[in-house]
A and B are shown apart, each in its own frame.
Chain A
Amino acid sequence: MTAALDVKGLTTRFETRAGHVTAVNDVSFAVQPGRIMGLVGESGSGKSVTGFSILGLIDAPGEVSAGAVLIDGIDLRQLSDEDLRKMRGRKVAMVFQDPMMTLNPVLRVGDQMAMAVRVHRPMSKPDALDHARKALEVVGIPSPAERLKAYPHQLSGGMRQRVAIAMALLHSPSVIIADEATTALDVSIQGQILAEVRELADTTGAAIVWITHDLAVVSSLADDICVMYAGRIVERGTAEQVIGGPRHPYTQGLLDSIPALHEPGRKLPQIPGSTPQLSRLPEGCPFRPRCPRATDLCRTEPPLDVRDEQAVLCHHPLERA
């Protein structure tokens, strides 16, 4: 089966006052149709830039400097601007933390959805509205016909995010990239949306990249997980592998610091130090100054160690029985 999304060696740099920084560094992963890939990492690790880079939305002073992004086998990076624009929205769509990045505040939900439908597909406005209504239904919006007449600000935050997801679904894209899409929502509303996203992947076969800082969310939603640190994917595998048997010291450290996995009141194991600035990365492995397993060898670039599809970028990965 060809992957719906195949990212190979994606590298994105920014020109800053402190010189070049590599925000996304040789990132590779693939997502099969109907699967959800959780892209997880702490703030500044490069998750959003990865999402934007996939969609070709990096502007100066940034630049995607290397790599390929294949959607249904077509390399987006080889397309003309015109063709790329056609792919966006039709084959690949993005959902942001703030739904107002997608929604136009001065247009009714139905009008803007109908416009979005007709950009890529010639059909009558009533047909487009009908198509929009169905999309709202898919994401669990009650009385969708009425919501079509509403302005975005007349909806709650959770409803607005559902509308943004419905917009992303309009053209049945092969790939959906969601960046912290439920982070700003309440847990009960987040729970509803996660359940719907799971069903969406299962029923429509869309491949979903779910970007979040929240390990609990990826652990219960995703089929596969990529862990990012300082612009690199340091561990990649199925959710069971990465959560149940992490091999990278950083993944292990992250999981260890989650209170839910410890007896209440006990001191939490903590990763010393803080996330590094990209302009001041140590040579070799970027995690070295904080890593309990670091040796002199870690001053050199860590190799990719692959075992049973679980890949880690590390000189001394944890051994699992």
Chain B
Amino acid sequence: MTDPILKIDAVSKRFTRKPGLAERMVGRFTGGGKPITVHALTDVSLDVAKGEVLGIVGESGCGKSTLGRVIAGIHAPSSGSVALNGRPVADERHGTVHKLTTQVQMIHQDPFASLNPRMKVGETLAEGPRYHGIIPADQVRARIRALLEQVGLEGAYADRLPHQFSGGQRQRIAIARALAMQPEVLVLDEAVASLDVSIQAQVLNLFMDLRHDLGLTALFISHDLSVVRHVCDRVAIMYLGRLVELAPADQLYADPRHPYTQALFASIPTVGTGRGRFEAIKGEIPSPIAPPPGCPFHPRCPFAGPRCRAEAPRLTGAGPARTVACHLNDGGVNMQRGAA
């Protein structure tokens, strides 16, 4: 890799929480009120190059948002480290997480929830840069207007309230707010997921323009494989808190190697392939509270062998610039090493 700006090294994140009402009723096996541990991320390592757009794909609950938050310094990892330009992004002391950088900014799915309804858009945009002294006070107004224009809105919109904007416009405002902090890295968490296709195309075009104009590095989290293919250079596929495949986008789509990636691609309806072609993945997504032993995909994997039930596969090289966590790529599934 040419110039890794962001290094995610063996990151695991566990959440411990009290069981909910439903869980207490369902899971009498948890022993009533005992705390539950959710394995949101397990041993995730990734390098992101400067100027790269890395896609993070997977089904709900696989840890995409948690990874985004760990990178943005909102959560501290339970173990492992995240460093931007060699410096940690967060620091946890006495159970409190301190964000150490403004250089990573996050954009969320629901643009309305992330904007203060009573604050004029210009004020919302100015808040962060003012607080952190990123823009000199006498330049804030002009800069905010310029930012609004940069995301395809009118400068005069600074004086309006969020409810006066459509969903697509609000997402542009959320992007402008992140850019106001002059970040090196953007984390977009399902940022176009709630937009209609015609509006989604507009926001994707804006993102591609900004990325080139500003040389942004970005993590693009999405469950939509065709959107990811369109805007990302490289793609990481996650399953149950683990990274299962990492490859340049063109190679991944042309030739997915991990059985889960293959199954995911096959089960997704696409426009124009004709009707009735669903090769659905069997079974349900297991719970991250009690992930299956060995390979987390083994209960649903058509290729699973004895080794898969006993031993978690490592990420191993599968050609230049790509890695896969599957025993098929690392000696086969039938060895009994470590089997119970």
Contact = CB atoms under 8 A, between A and B. Distances in A.
Contacts of A42: 196-199
A215 B275 contact: no
A187 B201 contact: no
25 contacts: A153-B22, A156-B285, A186-B59, A186-B223, A187-B223, A188-B59, A188-B264, A188-B285, A191-B281, A194-B278, A195-B280, A198-B278, A213-B196, A216-B271, A219-B269, A219-B273, A220-B275, A239-B275, A257-B197, A257-B200, A259-B201, A259-B204, A267-B208, A274-B166, A274-B169
B276 A220 contact: yes
Contacts of A151: 25
A275 B197 CA distance: 11
Contact of A270 (B201, B277, B284): B201
Given A198-B275, A258-B201, 15 more contacts: A42-B197, A189-B285, A191-B267, A192-B280, A194-B269, A215-B197, A220-B271, A258-B226, A259-B201, A259-B226, A259-B229, A260-B271, A264-B230, A268-B230, A270-B205
Interface of B: 22, 25-26, 59-60, 166, 168-169, 196-202, 204-205, 208, 223, 226-227, 229-231, 249-250, 263-264, 267-282, 284-285
Nearest to B266: A191
Interface string A67-82: 0000000000000000
Contacts of B202: 270
Q: Which 8 A-B pairs have the closest CB atoms?
A: A191-B267, A257-B201, A260-B226, A259-B230, A191-B280, A42-B196, A220-B269, A192-B280
Contacts of A269: 201
Contacts of A214: 269
Given A158-B284, A191-B268, A195-B280, A220 B273 contact: yes
Contacts of A156: 284-285
Contacts of A187: 59, 223, 264, 267-268
Most buried by B among A222, A243, A270: A270
Contacts of B272: 219, 243-244, 261
Interface string A38-59: 0000110000000000000000
Contacts of A294: none
Contacts of B230: 259-260, 262, 264-265, 268
A3 interface: no
B198 A219 contact: no
Interface in A150-168: 151, 153-154, 156, 158-159
A62 interface: no
A209 interface: no
A278 interface: no
Contacts of A190: 267, 269
A262 B230 CA distance: 8
A191 B198 contact: no
